[in-house]
């Protein structure tokens, strides 16, 4: 079994199933080769996933890979995000996973689009995919997991082009509770949230 297969199998042990929603063309693959890698990574895991499986949504929409070219501009419009950040994935509630450069090096960050808060969650894509994302506690501690899991319980399946968001957003005083949540168009909703946080 290759290193890629070991990493991906660990990831899928938690994600359970995937649904492909878009192919990744050679132009995008060539442009991003080596971009989503830390010096500690032995496998260009994001590119390998793109090549073998395309852009997929996992665990009924809890986690989905994204085309950075489609979402970088929106992500960078959040005040806490730098103008060179690269988006590579999202959650059921539309929160974003970023690859971003800091004064002390590049890191993987999690942007909570509802609160506007951003936190560094890892330095290695191999570790993130193989060891972090397959653990419920990592989601709860680092990736808005309590709300994500509650949203999945309520809505069961989140289409790739939708996200769960607050009917009255937190920025406007809405309650941070699944009872205040509904399904929205993903891109439209995070664009709105980026404007509310500015």
pLDDT above 90: residue 76: yes
Query: 198 falls in which pLDDT band (50, 70, 90)?
Result: confident
- Per CATH, is 3-196 categorized as 3.40.1580? yes
Question: How do the domains of the chain map onto residue ranges?
Answer: 3-196
Q: Alpha-carbon distance 36 to 198, whole Å?
A: 28
HEC assignment per residue over 91-138: ECCCCEEEEEEECCEEEEEEECCCCCCEEEEECCHHHHHHHHCCCHHH
Query: 182 falls in which pLDDT band (50, 70, 90)?
Result: very high
What pLDDT, on a 0 to 100 scale, did the predictor assign at position 56?
98
pTM: 0.97
Tell me the average pLDDT across 124-129. Answer: 97
């Amino acid at each position: 079994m290759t290193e890629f297969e070991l990493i991906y199998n660990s990831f899928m042990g938690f994600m359970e199933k995937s649904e492909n929603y878009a192919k990744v063309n050679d132009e995008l693959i060539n442009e991003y080769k080596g971009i989503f890698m830390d010096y500690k990574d032995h496998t260009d895991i994001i590119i390998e996933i793109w090549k073998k499986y395309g852009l997929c949504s996992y665990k009924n929409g809890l986690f989905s890979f994204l085309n950075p070219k489609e979402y970088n501009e929106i992500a960078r419009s959040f005040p806490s995000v730098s103008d060179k950040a690269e988006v590579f994935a999202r959650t059921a509630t539309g929160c974003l996973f970023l690859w971003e450069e800091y004064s002390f090096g590049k890191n993987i960050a999690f942007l909570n689009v509802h609160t506007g808060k951003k936190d560094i969650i890892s330095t290695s894509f191999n570790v993130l995919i193989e060891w972090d994302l397959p653990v419920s506690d990592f989601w709860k501690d680092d990736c808005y997991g309590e709300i994500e899991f509650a949203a999945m319980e309520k809505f069961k399946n989140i289409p790739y082009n939708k996200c769960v968001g607050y009917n009255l957003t937190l920025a406007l005083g809405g309650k941070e509770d699944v009872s205040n949540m509904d399904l929205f168009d993903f891109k439209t909703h995070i664009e709105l949230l980026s404007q509310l946080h500015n």
